[in-house]
Amino acid sequence: MKQNIDNKQELFTGAEIFVKCLEAEGIDLVFGYPGGAVLHIYDELHKQNSVTHILVRHEQGAVHAAEGFAKSSNKPGVVLVTSGPGATNAITGIADAYMDSVPIVVFTGQVRTALIGNDAFQEVDTVGITRPCVKHNFMITDVKDMANTIKKAFYVASTGRPGPVVVDIPKDITEDKCEFVYPEKVSMRSYNPSVQINDKDIDLAVEKILKAKKPVIYAGGGVINSNASDELTKLAKYLNFPVTNTLMGLGCFPGSDPQFLQMLGMHGSYEANMAMHDCDLLIAVGARFDDRITGRLDKFSPNATVVHIDVDPSSISKNIKAHIPINGDVKDCINKIIKKTMDKKLKPMNLDSWWEQINEWRKKDSFKYIQEKDIIKPQYVVDRLYEITKGDAFITSDVGQHQMWAAQLYKFNKPKRWINSGGLGTMGFGLPSAMGVQFANPDSLVCCITGEASIQMCIQELSTCLQYGLPIKIINLNNRYMGMVRQWQEFFYEKRYAMSYMDALPDFVKLTESYGHVGYKVENPNDVDSAIIEAINKKDKLVFLDFITDPNENVFPMIATGAAHNKMILS
């Protein structure tokens, strides 16, 4: 019987299917940089209008921008780069996203399948290189697998504990043809992020909650990833438990609330670290007990029963033994605890004496500083930025002293407002991540708090900001040093400041102006407010504020590596 040719399905190239997959997934923004291996895809992107491509100036910047986009929204970030150096330039950003559990999908070009393994031009083993720093990666070797693989990539990146997924696409796959069907759902035998929460563990946790005399809630970035900030706040307020945040968790509980103990850890507040040390019940929610939090492990919260709630079972008891492990989505777990306590109107013990002790510790005022007449203290700039913006800005940061001052002094009352590199500590993160935040929140004020060393790592993205009219405000705390390196050299290397002094800095104002933006140099403490206000008032301009700050200022409190977390250097 002769087949009716009218019933034949239309065939599409792999490049066309790629774009159709993004459309089906609801992706409308891609950060990237073109190259030979991905030109078929770029040609298809050029032909359509539903997916906007943002041309960055470096592939690392593309990934950080996608991170900023994902962290400040409820959407995954998407990156497209070419093979070889395009892929390797993206590795730092991919590793950063992996450490901080950021849902991004990175598409990398690859040489033609027949050339793989032949040391072809711009060939690297992207799957092999990225394997240690991704949640998962794929190589597409048949165009018929394109749609299903891309669906899997977004599913893996965004469910369970989020993370980066890399999809490597050889060039010939983008020109081969097949039918297009985008699956409604996918099933992966080796990946099942749905977790059945053990109600017995919830009951045990509630039992400890109701009997605790010195409790602390220790909340991390997992609360924000799970969109569980409202639930955590509701429970903490009902229980009257003190709350402390990790660097990544800031904003998941209101920073101006009297129950908030501020950030804990190496540069955390005195009251947070002391409360963690003395507590009898430690409820860890979406946090992983990293070394910057715990200090010396065998001295960490020695008298506490530890309840650890996390979606990732491998994080539970990894560093600190959990007496009551609760594996599951943070939001679901908190809601179960709410049902067992608030819904039954069960009240914990009277905590007046515990709060009296905490308030005694608070009197140390461990984040205090003295603003002098003649030189700008970096903390003062962050303080004034908070007061002037009323805490209603998105703040990105680079890595170093300025990051710690921002975390200490800018009070985040909402989640997804504090965007920084926590686990990997990536200098250069601040500006490109601010671009991603601005794209995700086009009508909001976005400020990047940085330092003169960090900002130069990805400063070429000022060009991207000009091309797309991004009105980011850059707050450069310029102390002419790699500040945190200098601080460690002062404390632990007998003031041998090896290679930490930045003695060949550009004129940041002229550099900013050369990119088509506005720059101001601020040296007098009396000019700090007016400079910030003028920058904010230039609503359609990127403004670079170069604050010349005290080069000798250090971040306090500080816990030395290997010290117990109640052994803080306060000044």
Quick one: which of 96, 134, 89, 94 has its CA closest to 425?
96
> In the annotation, is 188 catalytic?
no
For residues 18 and 30, what is the distance between their CA atoms, to the nearest angstrom? 12
Give Cα separations from 47 to 15, 42, 44, 403, 542 (angstroms): 11, 9, 5, 42, 30
Q: Give the active site residue among 44, 59, 123, 461.
A: 59
**Does the annotation mark 59 as catalytic?**
yes
Query: Could you tell me if 188 and 318 are in contact, meaning their C-beta atoms sit under 8 angstroms apart?
Result: no
Distance separating the N- and C-terminal Cα atoms of the chain: 89
Q: Which amino acid is at 411?
A: K
From 135, 171, 377, 473, active-site residue: 171
The single residue of 146, 248, 263, 484 carrying the catalytic annotation is 484
Residue 196 known to be catalytic: no
DSSP 342: T
Residue among 380, 396, 356 at smallest CA distance from 251: 396
- The CA-CA-CA angle for residues 250, 254, 257, to 5°, reads 125
3-state secondary structure of 108: strand
Closest by CA position to 288, among listed 261, 310, 266, 264: 310
Q: Which of 47, 48, 121, 339 is catalytic?
A: 121
What is the spatial distance between Cα 160 and Cα 193, in angstroms, rounded to a whole number?
5
**What is the three-class DSSP state of 455?**
helix
Quick check: 217 and 281 in contact, CB under 8 A? no
Using alpha carbons, select from 233, 480, 490 the residue that is nearest to residue 338: 233
The CA distances from residue 160 to 98, 274, 286, 311, in Å, are 13, 33, 12, 6
> In one letter, which amino acid is 233?
T
Tokens at 72, concatenated: 């400040």
What Cα–Cα distance (Å) separates residue 185 from each residue in 27, 149, 154, 161, 241? 16, 11, 11, 19, 41
Beta strands in 297-414 (DSSP E): 305-310, 324-327, 394-397
248 part of the active site: no
Indicate if 539 belongs to the active site.
Answer: no
Q: Tell me the C-alpha distance between 364 and 362, whole Å.
A: 5
Half-sphere exposure of 530 (CA within 13 A, CB side): 8
CA angle 424, 429, 435 (to 5 degrees): 145
- Per the structure block, which two tokens stand in for 466? 């000009």
Measured CA to CA, the distance from residue 53 to residue 49 in angstroms comes to 10
Catalytic residue IDs: 59, 121-122, 171, 484
